[in-house]
Amino acid sequence: MRLVTWNINSVRARLAPIETFIKTHDPDILCLQETKATDNDFPLKFFLKQGFEHYEIAGQKSYNGVAIFSKYPITKLDAPRWCDKDDKRHLAVRFDNGTVLHNFYIPAGGDIPDPEQNDKFAHKLAFMTEVSAWFKEQQADNNKFILVGDLNVAPLENDVWSHKQLLKVVSHTPTEVDHMDEMMASHDWIDAMRHFVPGTERLYSWWSYRARDWRKSNKGRRLDHIWVTPALKPALQSMTIDLAARDAEKPSDHAPVIMDFDLIP
DNA sequence: ATGCCGTATGATATACGA
């Protein structure tokens, strides 16, 4: 089973690079974030044509929005109304074999890394705290959970191009890393990308649009993640970040993360 | 950490991304 997570930064603006990606990598499950389209405006037909029979979408106007496309049957699961808001940042589904998949778009958090001064940063921290509490409630032996998405935190030193220069930049502040550590501990999550690339090596999934040459400047961050519970660790086969997608005509600023599992959900 | 790019929107500027 090939699983992909990709912050697409507007699904309607990205059909060509998505089609190229699907042709090249043939994912079985495709999790999108920042679709930026209401459910009515979502280009569903395009995805059905790509061979995904099963899907869940959760969109809103202009902002946020998540979607899951699957070649295997999925059943939508109930989830909390995070931070007392109706923004569309999370979808949870169950596969027939009991595996549960969570697709998250954690708030970006604005510019100022101080919850007193910046409501968006406060929202980001509160969101992670709520998610942690929710997963803590669900702890049980042998849960087969997968969590993917744009978590908007680059936790390790080698998840950013300069640990020192980004310590006060939202996405890599110690406060955010603490919140992410708490979230990881809430269900013994395993950082599946780092299972394949050790923390001693650089690993990024996002590069700003503003660099003249994103590859050359390579000022990236690992904001996109795939986590699994221990029961699924033996099924991890390989991981790729598809840099070719970042090179596409009109690309998303995030690259897709591809994870191969030795399992059929 | 600046850059000054990209997307969406009742829009010809503004909010937001990170």
**Please, which positions of strand B sit below 7 A from a protein CB?**
1-9, 16-18
The residues spanned by each domain of chain A are 2-261
Q: CB-based contacts with strand B under 7 Å?
A: A 7, 9-10, 12-13, 34, 36-38, 41, 61-63, 107-111, 120, 150, 152, 161-162, 165-166, 169-171, 206, 208-212, 219, 221, 223, 250, 253-254
**What would the 3-class secondary structure string for A98-135 be?**
CCEEEEEECCCCCCCCCCCCCHHHHHHHHHHHHHHHHH
Q: Supply the pLDDT for residue A102.
A: 98
Nucleotide B3: closest residue by CA–C1': A210
Of A238, A227, A233, A236, nearest to A180 by C-alpha is A227
pLDDT tens digits, residue range A185-221? Answer: 999 999 999 999 999 999 999 999 999 999 999 999 9
Q: Supply the pLDDT for residue A197.
A: 98
CA of A221 to C1' of B18 (A): 9
Sheet holding A74-76, edge to edge: A74-76, A90-95, A100-105, A145-150, A224-228, A190-191
Fold (topology level) of A2-261: Deoxyribonuclease I; Chain A (3.60.10)
pLDDT tens digits, residue range A37-84? Answer: 999 999 999 999 999 999 999 999 999 999 999 999 999 999 999 999
CA of A253 to C1' of B7 (A): 11
pLDDT tens digits, residue range A69-128? Answer: 999 999 999 999 999 999 999 999 999 999 999 999 999 999 999 999 999 999 999 999
Q: Supply the pLDDT for residue A248.
A: 95
Residue A1 CA to residue A236 CA, distance in Å, equals 10
CA of A209 to C1' of B17 (A): 10
pLDDT tens digits, residue range A135-156? Answer: 999 999 999 999 999 999 999 9
Cβ atoms within 10 A of the Cβ of A173, count? 19
